[in-house]
């Protein structure tokens, strides 16, 4: 069966482009979510390349589940953990006592999320090429 890794990586890059557009338009909460999704899809593409199954949405857990020979660093796993904080709270008002996610996410949050997602995607692309 052919691998779908290139499709996953292509969508990961597109999600990251979306996060960058959200930075421009100041939709910081949605950009943080898009960056998390980008990283998740990048890692799932690497799993596809390895002919392995990936389950769940935690980028940290996915990175930790990669075979040791892939060589995922602690720094990359920490980047995944930072992105995981953007999976749910960025989308639902009941994650906070009052207000909406728009009130809690900043340009700095999104810039960091874009940096981490790009780092994770580049790692996955390097392993697949």
Domain count along the chain: 1
What is the rounded distance in angstroms from the CA atom of residue 47 to the CA atom of residue 59? 12
Predicted pLDDT at 117: 99
Q: Which helix (H) or strand (E) holds 122?
A: helix 107-128
Q: Which residues of 101-115 are buried (b: 16+ CB within 10 A; e: fewer)?
A: beeebeeebbbbbbe
Task: Give the burial class of 99: count Cβ atoms within 10 A of its Cβ; 0-12 exposed, 13-18 middle, 19 or more buried.
Answer: exposed
- Per the listing, tokens 């338009």 go with 25
> What's the average model confidence in pLDDT over 23-45?
98
**pLDDT tens digits, one per residue of 35-56:** 999 999 999 999 999 999 999 9
> What's the average model confidence in pLDDT over 103-113?
98
Kindly report the backbone phi and psi dihedral angles of residue 83, in degrees, each rounded to the nearest multiple of 5, phi listed first: -70, -35
- Statement: residue 114 has pLDDT above 80: yes
**pLDDT tens digits, one per residue of 81-107:** 999 999 999 999 999 999 999 999 999
CB atoms within 10 A of CB 126: 9
**pLDDT tens digits, one per residue of 2-21:** 789 999 999 999 999 999 99
Q: What range defines the domain where residue 22 resides? A: 5-128
Predicted pLDDT at 1: 66
- CATH number of the domain at 74, please: 1.20.120.330
């Amino acid at each position: 069966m052919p691998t779908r890794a290139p499709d996953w990586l292509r969508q990961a890059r597109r999600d990251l482009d979306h996060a960058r557009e959200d930075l421009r338009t100041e939709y910081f909460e949605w950009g943080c979510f898009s960056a998390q999704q980008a990283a998740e899809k990048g890692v799932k593409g690497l799993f596809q390349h390895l002919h392995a199954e990936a389950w769940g949405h935690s980028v940290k857990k996915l990175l930790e589940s990669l075979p040791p020979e892939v060589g995922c660093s602690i720094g990359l796993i920490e980047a995944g953990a930072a992105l995981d904080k953007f999976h749910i709270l960025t989308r639902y008002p009941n994650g906070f006592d009052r207000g909406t996610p728009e009130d809690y996410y900043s340009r700095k949050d999104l810039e960091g999320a874009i940096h981490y997602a790009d780092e994770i995607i580049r790692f996955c692309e390097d392993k697949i090429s």
